[in-house]
């Protein structure tokens, strides 16, 4: 029962303060990885890759995955993992639902308020900072090994080369017309190939 209360508290908090979309949840998830054994930094980078490659919002997908792993690691049961996944997802969505209901009622009255406009102006740089921190978290986990014993092991060379290749390919003029799904499938296949040949 304790795991459900933890998930409700943690993911309600994330949903309440992670303004700016799914990427803004990453700093909060990184904090969870430091706090609880059922989530790790490596899992977060894998979750980002999977969430960006599958339908649905990033934040929702990551909450569902985190909740499932919390339940599965706690109970050892896939069925109970589904219930904790639902708990985490519902807890993440609840603050947005509540806030939108309140804002919808008050928007007409306060939409021209200087105080409200100033509050939104203050939120924009904070959201940009959260997204930048999230981007660095993903890049740091994926491309660098901060626990490396030597300088040569600090850089994850196969991942860096794949990143550079995808950056070049997605910016070539005649390839920009391709559907994003083509790049997602190519990157996934290349990542799996690297995993099996070089190591995960």
The answer as to whether 116 is a domain residue is no
Residues 39 and 92 in one domain: yes
Q: Where does the pLDDT of residue 88 fall: very low under 50, low under 70, confident under 90, or very high at 90 and above? A: very high
Residue 118 belongs to some domain of the structure: no
pLDDT tens per residue, range 144-191:
777 777 776 777 777 788 888 888 888 888 888 888 888 888 888 887
pLDDT, tens digit, 9 for 90 and up, residues 27-55: 888 888 888 888 887 788 778 777 777 77
Residue 38 falls within a domain, yes or no?
yes
Same domain, 16 and 104: yes
- 46 and 102 housed in the same domain: yes
Same domain, 104 and 159: no
Q: Are 102 and 171 part of one and the same domain?
A: no
Same domain membership, residue 77 and residue 19: yes
> pLDDT at position 7, please?
92
- Residue 68's domain comprises 2-111
Asked whether residue 145 is assigned to any structural domain, the reply reads no
Does residue 200 register a pLDDT over 70?
no
Closest CA to 91 of 1, 12, 5: 12
20 and 103 both lie in a single domain: yes
Domain total of the chain: 2
* Final residue in a domain of this structure, among 81, 111, 141: 111
Q: DSSP per residue over the chain, as a string?
A: -HHHHHHHHHHHHHHHH-TTSGGGGHHHHHHHHHH-TT--HHHHHHHHHHHHHSSS-HHHHHHHHHHHHHHHHHH--HHHHHHHHHHHHHHHHHHHHHHHHHHHHHHHHHTT-HHHHHHHHHHHHHHHHHHHHHHHHHHHHHHB-TT-SSGGGTB-HHHHHHHHHHHHHHH-GGGTTS-HHHHHHHHHHHHHHHHHHT--
Evaluate whether residue 123 is within a structural domain.
no
In a domain? residue 121: no
pTM of the model: 0.62
Domain boundary among 60, 91, 111: 111
179 vs 110, higher pLDDT: 179
Do 82 and 170 fall into the same domain?
no
Together in a domain, 98 and 13: yes
In a domain, 47, yes or no: yes
């Amino acid at each position: 029962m304790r795991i459900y209360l933890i998930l409700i508290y943690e993911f309600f908090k994330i949903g309440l303060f992670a303004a700016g979309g799914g990427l803004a949840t990453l700093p909060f998830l990184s904090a969870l990885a430091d706090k609880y054994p059922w989530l790790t930094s490596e899992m977060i980078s894998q979750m980002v890759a999977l969430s960006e490659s599958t339908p649905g919002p990033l934040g929702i997908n990551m909450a569902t995955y985190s909740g499932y792993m919390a339940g599965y690691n706690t109970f050892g049961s896939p069925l109970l993992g589904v219930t904790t996944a639902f708990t985490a997802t519902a807890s993440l969505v609840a603050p947005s639902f509540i806030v939108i209901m309140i804002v919808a009622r008050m928007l007409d009255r306060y939409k021209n308020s200087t105080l409200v406009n100033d509050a939104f102006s203050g939120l924009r740089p904070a959201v940009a900072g959260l997204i930048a921190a999230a981007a660095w978290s993903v890049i740091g986990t994926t491309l660098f090994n901060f626990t490396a014993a030597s300088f040569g092991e600090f850089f994850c060379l196969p991942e860096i080369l794949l990143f550079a290749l995808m950056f070049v390919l997605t910016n070539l003029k005649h390839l920009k017309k391709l559907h994003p799904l083509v790049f997602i499938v190519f990157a996934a296949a290349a990542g799996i190939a690297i995993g099996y040949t070089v190591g995960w």
